[in-house]
Amino acid sequence: MPKTEVIPCTKEEIDRILDASMGNDFFYMLFMVAKTTGRRLGELYGNQEKIIVREERYKDRLGNIKVKEIKKGTGKYSGGVQVKDIILRDNGTKIMMTQVLKKRRRAEKEAVLTDEVYRLIKTYISKHRLSLDDYLFRKVGYRQIQNKIIHYSKKAKIQHKVVFHNFRHYLITELIRKGWSYDKIAKVTGHTTIGVISVYDHVVASDIRDDILNNLKDI
């Protein structure tokens, strides 16, 4: 989960962001992948490697001395989706292999691709003549991707802050609305802890706000 609260996007707002980015084949592809797979930017792009620059000692609530490692990014990234990670199974299923980083360990996860998104990816690969070992989502820098989210959301005339996590947030919320169980959603989005998904329920609860307020008048 992100450190700051994500203001949810409606379907209309997500569609407007996609429409705004349609003129750029890289960002349109990236946003479509994010919308339909719910994967984090770190899974798609890769995670920045960090080194320990110093240690700081502090006391916890019980007065025990603890050591906190202060890390700095190296500018190098590991993981991330490569062209060879886009796979067409014998049964026709189209998938994207990703690596989820959890407690410094990487776990491979499969993300199912829709026919439309698979065609977008394959068209992009062919147009830019990418090789199997090329990284699919590293055409621009990590920070530039985050900045472009802001750019396209403003272009789409969205009034609230939009971050990359909005795509993940949107997919999970919509699947909850459709009655999906947490364990099924976790398989789609790559969550390693099912309970984390419950934090999205507060968004869905807003759907019944008017009904409950009206009915409470008679209770």
Q: Quick one: pLDDT at residue 1?
A: 41
Alpha carbons 27 and 18: distance in angstroms, whole number: 9
Q: Quick one: pLDDT at residue 47?
A: 84
Q: What is the DSSP letter of 135?
A: B
Give whichever of 3-17, 58-72, 161-175 has the largest mean pLDDT: 161-175
Q: At 189, list the tokens.
A: 């989005």
Q: Quick one: pLDDT at residue 145?
A: 97
Three-state secondary-structure class, residue 39:
coil
The answer to whether residue 181 is domain-embedded is yes
**pLDDT of 173 strictly over 70:** yes
Classify burial at 207, counting beta carbons within 10 Å of its beta carbon; exposed 0-12, middle 13-18, buried 19 or more.
exposed
- How many structural domains is the chain composed of? 1
DSSP conformation letters of 66-121 = EEEEEEEEEEEEE---BGGGEEE-TTS-EEEEEEEEETTEEEEEEEE--HHHHHHH
Q: Quick one: pLDDT at residue 62?
A: 86
Please name the residues in contact with 219: beta carbons below 8 A apart, sequence gap of 6 or more: none
- Domain holding 106, by residue range, is 11-216
Residues paired with 70 in a beta bridge: 54
Alpha-carbon separation of residue 79 from 22, 48, 125, 126, 137 (angstroms): 27, 9, 19, 22, 11
Q: What does the mean pLDDT of the chain come to?
A: 86
Instruction: Provide the CATH number for the domain around residue 96.
Output: 1.10.443.10
The answer to whether residue 1 is domain-embedded is no
The answer to whether residue 90 is domain-embedded is yes
The answer to whether residue 173 is domain-embedded is yes
Q: Quick one: pLDDT at residue 2?
A: 45
Q: Quick one: pLDDT at residue 200?
A: 74
Select the more confidently predicted residue: 89 or 183: 89
**Reported pTM:** 0.81
The answer to whether residue 104 is domain-embedded is yes
CA angle 164/166/167 to nearest 5° reads 85
